[in-house]
C-alpha cells in the first residue's frame, strides 16, 4: 500500500487586499471612533449596529459597475439559493433597516454606525478590500437644515479628532444645479448625460481647457493616447464651463454665477435656492466659508445623490513616495439620497448623510505627527521565584486597581535577562523586581526602563550616580512610586 502523502501546510499569509492591525493601530482607531461617536451623540444621533451580511438584492443597483449580482462585493449563494454578500457600505443596510422597522422608529430617524465594510475590487497602494467607515444619517426629512447639520457635525468631528481649522475644508454642491445645467445644454440622452458627468469629474485633473476638449472632439492625454470626446458643440459645452468656473470670491458671488449657469432651468434654480438656504443655515450656527464652502467642482457620485453633496478635504501638504509635495485630499463625503429607501417601500423617503473614512483620517493624523510613535506598554513585574507567583500577582492586582496597566512575566523565569528583553519588546515603562532578599526586607526594586535606555545612550558616569534608573522602595510605596515615574515620562 502506497504511503499516503501528508497534506501541505497552509501558507501563513494575509489574503491579497487585506492586512492585519496591531497594538497602537487598533487603539488609535478605537480612540478616534470614540471621539467621533461623542460628536454624533451630542447632535442627538442614536447608534445602530446592523448585520455585516445583507442580501445582494438589498445592496442593489448602487454598487459600481453592476453587470451581475455580485459585482464589487464578496457574495455567495445560501442554501435557499438567495445571494448574500458582505456589506459594501453602511448606507444600503440603513435603507433596509429603515424600510423594515419604520413603524417602530421615530421620524426623522437619526442614526450613526461604524464598522468594517468589504469591497471586492482591485487593491492598490493604500487601497484595501476591508476598511472602516463611520457614518451618520438622517432619514425622513427633506429639510435643508438636515443637510446643514450634517456638514456642521462633520466639521466638529474633524476638529475633535485633531484636524484644526485651516487644515480642512468641506465643499458643497447640489445635484439639481447640475441637472439644470444639463437641461440648459439640451442634453437629454442618458448615455450622453453620463459622459458629461464623467467629464466634469475630471475637472481637477485636466482643468478648464481639458474639459472643453473632452466635451467636444477629444484630447491627447499625458501618455500621448487620444481620448474621444462627448461630441458637443462649443455652444452646448459653454454652460458646463460656466458651471465649473462659477466659484467666486464670496458665497453670494458663487450663487449669482450659478444662477447664470443654469439659465432658465427651474430645477437648476431650485438647486441654487437650496444652496443659498444651506449657506444661511450654516452661517447662523457660526460655520462660515473658512470651514464650509459652496464649490461647483464637487461631483461625488452624482448618479447616487438627489440634492446637496458634500466632501471634506484636508488642505495640508504631504510628501508622496517619490518625495513630491501633494495635498492629502478627501477623507469624508456624503449628500442627500432621496431614492434609496424607495426601492423597498415604493414611496419616496428623503434621507441625507455622511461617511468618514476612518483609515484615511488616521493616516492623515500620522502624517502630521498628531498620533503615532511607539505606544507605552504595561509595567512588567518580573518573576524571581515561581513558587511565589501569588505575591507577584498581588503586585499586579494593586497596580491595575490603581489604574496602571501591568502584567506578570509568564515565560520561563530562569534567565532574568530574557525578562528584561521582554519588557523592552513590550515598550514597558517600568520593571518591578523582588527576589528573596527584597521579600524578607519587604521592599521592591523599581527599574525605570525609559531612563535606563537614555542613560545607556548618552549619560556620563556622574549623571548615572545622580539619577539611578533602578532603586529600592518599601513594598507599600510600590504603586505611588510607579505612578510618579510614569507621569514623569509623560512630561
Domain boundaries, the chain: 379-490
What's the confidence (pLDDT) of residue 64? 45
What's the confidence (pLDDT) of residue 70? 54
What's the confidence (pLDDT) of residue 65? 43
3-state secondary structure of 201: coil
- Asked if 263 and 239 touch (Cβ cutoff 8 Å), the reply is yes
What's the confidence (pLDDT) of residue 367? 82
Q: How far is CA 157 from CA 94, 152, 162, in A?
A: 21, 9, 9
pLDDT beneath 50: ranges in the chain = 62-69
3-state secondary structure of 33: helix
What's the confidence (pLDDT) of residue 161? 95
Place of cell 492586582: 397
- Asked if 324 and 316 touch (Cβ cutoff 8 Å), the reply is no
Grid cell listed for 291:
470651514
CA 146, CA 334: separation in Å to the nearest integer?
A: 12
Q: Please name the residues in contact with 402: beta carbons below 8 A apart, sequence gap of 6 or more.
A: 479, 483
> Residues 245-262: pLDDT tens digits?
888 889 999 999 999 988
* Alpha helix ranges (H) inside 303-388: 342-345, 358-367
CA angle 484, 490, 491 (to 5 degrees): 95
What's the confidence (pLDDT) of residue 62? 47
Place of cell 465594510: 117
Whether the bond between 108 and the residue before it is cis, its omega within 30 degrees of 0, is: yes
User: How big is the chain by its Cα radius of gyration, in Å?
Assistant: 30
| The CATH classification of domain 379-490, taken from the options 3.40.50.800, 3.40.50.1260, 3.40.1030.10, 3.20.20.80 | 3.40.50.800
> Residues 279-309: pLDDT tens digits?
999 999 999 999 999 998 887 665 678 899 9
What's the confidence (pLDDT) of residue 448? 94
* Beta strands per DSSP E along 184-319: 218-220, 226-228, 292-294, 308-319
What's the confidence (pLDDT) of residue 302? 55
CA 351, CA 320: separation in Å to the nearest integer?
A: 37
What's the confidence (pLDDT) of residue 6? 82
Amino acid at each position: 500500500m502506497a504511503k499516503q502523502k501528508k497534506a501541505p501546510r497552509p501558507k501563513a499569509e494575509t489574503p491579497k487586499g487585506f492586512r492585519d492591525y496591531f497594538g497602537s493601530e487598533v487603539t488609535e482607531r478605537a480612540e478616534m471612533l470614540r471621539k467621533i461617536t461623542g460628536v454624533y451623540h451630542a447632535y442627538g444621533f442614536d447608534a445602530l449596529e446592523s448585520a455585516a451580511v445583507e442580501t445582494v438584492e438589498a445592496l442593489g443597483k448602487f454598487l459600481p459597475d453592476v453587470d451581475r449580482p455580485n459585482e464589487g462585493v464578496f457574495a455567495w449563494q445560501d442554501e435557499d439559493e438567495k445571494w448574500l454578500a458582505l456589506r459594501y457600505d453602511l448606507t444600503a443596510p440603513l435603507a433596509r433597516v429603515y424600510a423594515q422597522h419604520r413603524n417602530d422608529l421615530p421620524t426623522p430617524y437619526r442614526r450613526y454606525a461604524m464598522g468594517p465594510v468589504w469591497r471586492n475590487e482591485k487593491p492598490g497602494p493604500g487601497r484595501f478590500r476591508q476598511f472602516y467607515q463611520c457614518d451618520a444619517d438622517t432619514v425622513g426629512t427633506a429639510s435643508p437644515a438636515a443637510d446643514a447639520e450634517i456638514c456642521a457635525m462633520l466639521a466638529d468631528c474633524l476638529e475633535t479628532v485633531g484636524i484644526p481649522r485651516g487644515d480642512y475644508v468641506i465643499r458643497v454642491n447640489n445635484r439639481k444645479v447640475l441637472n439644470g445645467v444639463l437641461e440648459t445644454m439640451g442634453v437629454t440622452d442618458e448615455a450622453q448625460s453620463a459622459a458629461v458627468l464623467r467629464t466634469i469629474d475630471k475637472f481637477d485633473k485636466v482643468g478648464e481647457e481639458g474639459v472643453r476638449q473632452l466635451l467636444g472632439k477629444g484630447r491627447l492625454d499625458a501618455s500621448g493616447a487620444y481620448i474621444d470626446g462627448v461630441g458637443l458643440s462649443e455652444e452646448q459645452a459653454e454652460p458646463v464651463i460656466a458651471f465649473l468656473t462659477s466659484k467666486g470670491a464670496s458665497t453670494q458671488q458663487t450663487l449669482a454665477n450659478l444662477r447664470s449657469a443654469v439659465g432658465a432651468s427651474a430645477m437648476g434654480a431650485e438647486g441654487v435656492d437650496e444652496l443659498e438656504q444651506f449657506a444661511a443655515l450654516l452661517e447662523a450656527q457660526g460655520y462660515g466659508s473658512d470651514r464650509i464652502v459652496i464649490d461647483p467642482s464637487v461631483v461625488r457620485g452624482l448618479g447616487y445623490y438627489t440634492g446637496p453633496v458634500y466632501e471634506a478635504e484636508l488642505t495640508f501638504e504631504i510628501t508622496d513616495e517619490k518625495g513630491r509635495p501633494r495635498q492629502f485630499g478627501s477623507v469624508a463625503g456624503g449628500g442627500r439620497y432621496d431614492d434609496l429607501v424607495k426601492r423597498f417601500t415604493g414611496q419616496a423617503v428623503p434621507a441625507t448623510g455622511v461617511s468618514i473614512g476612518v483609515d484615511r483620517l488616521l493616516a492623515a493624523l500620522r502624517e502630521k505627527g498628531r498620533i503615532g510613535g511607539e505606544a507605552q506598554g504595561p509595567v512588567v513585574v518580573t518573576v524571581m521565584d515561581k513558587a511565589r507567583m501569588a505575591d507577584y500577582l498581588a503586585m499586579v492586582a494593586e497596580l491595575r486597581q490603581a489604574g496602571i496597566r501591568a502584567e506578570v512575566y509568564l515565560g520561563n523565569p530562569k534567565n532574568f535577562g530574557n525578562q528584561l528583553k521582554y519588557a523592552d519588546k513590550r515598550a514597558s515603562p517600568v520593571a518591578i523586581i523582588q527576589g528573596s532578599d527584597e521579600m524578607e526586607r519587604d521592599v521592591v526594586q523599581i527599574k525605570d526602563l525609559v531612563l535606563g535606555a537614555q542613560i545607556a545612550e548618552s549619560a556620563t558616569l556622574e549623571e548615572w550616580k545622580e539619577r539611578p534608573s533602578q532603586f529600592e522602595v518599601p513594598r507599600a510605596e510600590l504603586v505611588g512610586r510607579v505612578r510618579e515615574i510614569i507621569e514623569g515620562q509623560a512630561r
